[in-house]
């Protein structure tokens, strides 16, 4: 693998100019991508929605009327030891559950997705939704519920309000850059004296993997700032701003402001490319991605500027990733006194420990970093180190039935993640999977395919909570990715949030291609991103 210093030199000034340019010169030749996509999608028939609130896609009745009997059935379905529990033999320890997958016959390994796809998906979720006010199991109109994240893939979960509004996130000696600290061996998030991460979204310190991803984005941005300065683009852009009448103060302030904005655009557009060209094809299939890009939206059809996050996505369809979580992971290959660091995703024994035995976030120690060759395929000699996620099905890894309260945004029980997901269907009055399938005019799953739900005695096999339904769709499709209702909801919400955002690469210039260093010029993958950020195996030396 080419070392970072060589790759830095090889990026030309011309490449950067190409990556920074907005499609202004092309605007006179055809309509903008936003205009084209809005025309294909058509006007929404729904009332005006607010981007800072949640919304709905389907005007359909809830899957069931709220009652104590229903709530008890949902709690039973999502209970520890219940139908959805994979019943992993945790007594075997974190290492054997990785090396001996036959120990968990109910929790199959994926043959298509690596372990990192799970946490990239979690990172994306935190970039577009944050519901901190609704109460589980209490019906609430989504239109009145604030979403604390913007409904766009703009990395507000990383950048916050920028250096002016969120100065605590940035280097006081160089406001164009983020603060990044050391965990002892490698990078760590900035932390306060209590160990809490000083980041724009505290959920990105929930576990080691997502904390490592967040730190990689900080490093990627800082690297872009350095590269822009080395090519002289910061001076050119500052002069351009000054000539355009933008007054950011003295020359140094203008350069700092300009280089920050352009570095942010570079990072964000490459991130968005990964979403469209790597993440979505993995989880919903390339054919569904291409169909939506070419033919527009069929069901989620917001007007430009009114896109918001629908509850069918937020509370159900996009929670498919919980099924992909493994009970345990190898965090790195040599961080634990020269030995691999293995741990359960969450382990009650880790509560209160300065250096927890599990992979929870909120702590600093030399071994608490991620060796990304376990999570993404760096190929070559590293290919043997990558590990898979779990398949997408109706079984959830056992540690997720006993979350630490610190991993729950509200800090309130229940601590079983499946129970929380199912109770949200009552909170948001979400339609059944069958009703949505009918609205989409696709064959619904039969009661025989959902017969295991009959035991709860409230008709869930006939009118199924959407989250369970889309997991069952995926399970019946082999577990490699979403199908039917789930694939369409996830795909349309993702692509709408990108295409209707005039600041995204899909909204501003669909012809744009990546310009940062990559193994294959003109494209960009998670492996390229992690390599550019300097957290790849070669840069770590392990």
Q: Residue 217 is encoded by which pair of tokens?
A: 């984005």
pLDDT for the residue 190: 98
**pTM score of the predicted model:** 0.89
> Does pLDDT of 230 surpass 60?
yes
* DSSP sequence for 444-512: PPPTTTTGGGGGGSS-TTTS--HHHHHHHHHHHTTSSS--HHHHHHHHHHHHHHHHT-TTSHHHH-TT-
Q: Is 176 helix (H, G, I), strand (E, B) or coil?
A: strand
> Does pLDDT of 495 surpass 60?
yes
Residue predicted with more confidence, 22 or 143: 143
Q: Average of pLDDT values for 324-349? A: 97
Place of tokens 């010169």: 25
Residue predicted with more confidence, 124 or 404: 124
> Does pLDDT of 167 surpass 50?
yes
Of the listed ranges 26-30, 102-106, 342-346, the least confidently predicted one is: 26-30
Residue predicted with more confidence, 68 or 143: 68
- In DSSP terms, 207 is beta-bridged to 360
Q: Average of pLDDT values for 8-13? A: 34
B/e letters for 303-326, b = 16+ CB within 10 Å, e = fewer, are: ebebbbbbbbbbbbbbbbbbbbbb
Residue predicted with more confidence, 48 or 541: 541
Domains in the chain and their CATH numbers? 4-540 (1.10.640)
> Does pLDDT of 36 surpass 70?
no
> Does pLDDT of 393 surpass 80?
yes
> Does pLDDT of 19 surpass 90?
no
> Does pLDDT of 2 surpass 70?
no
pLDDT for the residue 493: 97
Of the listed ranges 19-23, 134-138, 324-328, 521-525, the least confidently predicted one is: 19-23
> Which pLDDT band, with edges at 50, 70 and 90, does 234 fall under?
low
What does the alpha-carbon distance between residue 487 and residue 8 come to, in Å, rounded to a whole number? 38
> Which pLDDT band, with edges at 50, 70 and 90, does 224 fall under?
very high
Q: Average of pLDDT values for 106-121? A: 98
CA distances from 199 to 80, 152, 211, 358 (A): 32, 19, 10, 22
Per the CB < 8 A criterion, the answer to whether 391 and 476 are in contact is no
What does the alpha-carbon distance between residue 196 and residue 361 come to, in Å, rounded to a whole number? 9
> Does pLDDT of 35 surpass 50?
no
What does the alpha-carbon distance between residue 270 and residue 522 come to, in Å, rounded to a whole number? 11
pLDDT for the residue 411: 63
Q: How do beta strands 309-310 and 54-55 pair?
A: parallel
Q: How many CA atoms lie within 13 A of 380 on its CB side?
A: 8
> Which pLDDT band, with edges at 50, 70 and 90, does 254 fall under?
low
The mean pLDDT of the chain is 89
CA distances from 223 to 180, 289, 462 (A): 12, 31, 53
Place of tokens 């968005």: 272
pLDDT tens per residue, range 423-463 = 999 999 999 999 999 999 999 999 999 999 999 999 999 99
Strand ranges in 290-398 using DSSP code E only, listed in sequence order:
309-310, 328-336, 339-344, 388-390
Give the helix, strand, coil percentages of the chain, each rounded to 5.
45, 10, 45
Pick from 523, 425, 507, 495: nearest CA to 134: 425
Q: Average of pLDDT values for 22-39? A: 35
Cβ-based neighbours of 253, under 8 Å, separated by 6 or more: none
> Which pLDDT band, with edges at 50, 70 and 90, does 405 fall under?
confident
Most confident stretch, 242-246, 402-406, 460-464:
460-464
pLDDT for the residue 324: 98
Could you give the percent of the chain with pLDDT greater than 90?
77
Q: Average of pLDDT values for 44-60? A: 78
> Does pLDDT of 251 surpass 70?
no
What does the alpha-carbon distance between residue 513 and residue 380 come to, in Å, rounded to a whole number? 26
What angle separates helix 251-274 from helix 208-230, to the nearest 10 degrees? 130
> Does pLDDT of 489 surpass 80?
yes
pLDDT for the residue 22: 36
Q: Average of pLDDT values for 146-167? A: 94
Tally of residues, the chain: 542
What does the alpha-carbon distance between residue 433 and residue 58 come to, in Å, rounded to a whole number? 11
Rounded-to-10 torsion of CA 405, 408, 412, 413? -80
B/e letters for 132-146, b = 16+ CB within 10 Å, e = fewer, are: eebebbeebebeebe
In degrees, rounded to 5, the angle at the alpha carbon of residue 521 between the alpha carbons of residues 520 and 524 is 70
Q: Average of pLDDT values for 470-491? A: 97
> Does pLDDT of 55 surpass 60?
yes
């Amino acid at each position: 693998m080419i070392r970072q210093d060589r790759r830095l030199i090889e990026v030309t000034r011309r490449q950067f100019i190409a990556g920074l340019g907005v499609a202004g010169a092309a605007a006179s030749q055809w309509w903008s991508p936003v205009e084209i996509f809005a025309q294909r999608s058509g006007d929404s028939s729904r009332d005006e929605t607010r981007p800072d609130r949640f919304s709905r896609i389907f005007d359909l009745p809830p899957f069931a009327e709220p009652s104590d009997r229903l709530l008890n059935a949902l709690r039973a379905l999502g209970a520890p030891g219940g139908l959805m529990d994979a019943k992993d033999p945790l007594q075997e320890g974190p290492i054997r559950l990785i090396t001996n997958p036959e120990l968990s016959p109910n929790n199959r390994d994926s043959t298509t997705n690596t372990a990192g796809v799970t946490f990239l998906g979690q990172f994306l979720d935190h970039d577009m939704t944050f519901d901190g006010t609704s109460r589980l199991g209490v019906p609430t109109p989504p239109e009145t519920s604030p979403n604390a994240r913007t409904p766009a893939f703009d990395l507000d979960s990383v950048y916050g309000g920028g250096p002016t509004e969120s100065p605590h996130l940035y280097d006081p000696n160089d406001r164009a850059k983020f603060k990044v600290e050391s965990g002892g061996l490698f990078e760590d998030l900035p932390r306060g004296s209590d160990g809490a991460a000083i980041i724009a979204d505290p959920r990105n310190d929930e576990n080691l993997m997502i904390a490592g991803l967040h730190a990689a984005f900080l490093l990627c941005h800082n690297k872009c700032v350095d590269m822009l300065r080395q090519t002289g683009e910061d001076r050119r852009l500052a002069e351009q701003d000054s000539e355009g009448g933008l007054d950011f103060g003295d020359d140094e302030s203008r350069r700092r402001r300009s280089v920050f904005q352009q570095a942010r655009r570079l990072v964000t557009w490459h991130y968005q490319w990964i979403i469209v060209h790597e993440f979505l094809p993995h989880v919903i299939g390339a054919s569904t991605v291409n169909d939506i890009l070419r033919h527009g939206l069929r069901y989620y059809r917001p007007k430009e500027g009114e896109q918001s996050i629908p509850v069918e996505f937020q509370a159900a369809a996009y929670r498919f990733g919980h099924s992909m979580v493994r009970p345990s992971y190898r965090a790195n290959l040599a961080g634990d006194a020269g030995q691999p660091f293995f741990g359960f995703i969450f382990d009650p024994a880790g509560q209160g420990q300065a250096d927890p035995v599990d992979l929870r976030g909120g702590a600093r120690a030399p071994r608490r970093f991620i060796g990304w060759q376990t999570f993404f395929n760096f190929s070559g000699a590293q290919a043997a180190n990558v590990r898979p996620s779990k398949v997408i099905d109706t079984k959830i890894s056992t540690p997720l039935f006993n979350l630490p309260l610190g991993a729950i945004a509200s800090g309130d029980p229940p601590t079983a993640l499946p129970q929380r997901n199912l109770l949200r269907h009552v909170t948001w009055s979400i339609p059944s999977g069958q009703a949505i399938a009918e609205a989409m005019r696709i064959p619904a799953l039969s009661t025989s395919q959902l017969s295991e739900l009959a035991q709860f005695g409230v008709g869930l096999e006939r009118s199924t909570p959407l989250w369970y339904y889309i997991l069952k769709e995926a399970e019946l499709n082999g577990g490699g990715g979403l199908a039917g209702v789930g694939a369409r909801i996830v795909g349309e919400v993702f692509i709408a949030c990108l295409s209707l955002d005039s600041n995204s690469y899909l909204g501003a210039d669909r012809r744009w291609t990546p310009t940062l260093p990559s193994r294959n010029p003109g494209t960009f993958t998670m492996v390229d991103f992690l390599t550019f950020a300097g957290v790849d195996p070669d840069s770590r030396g392990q």
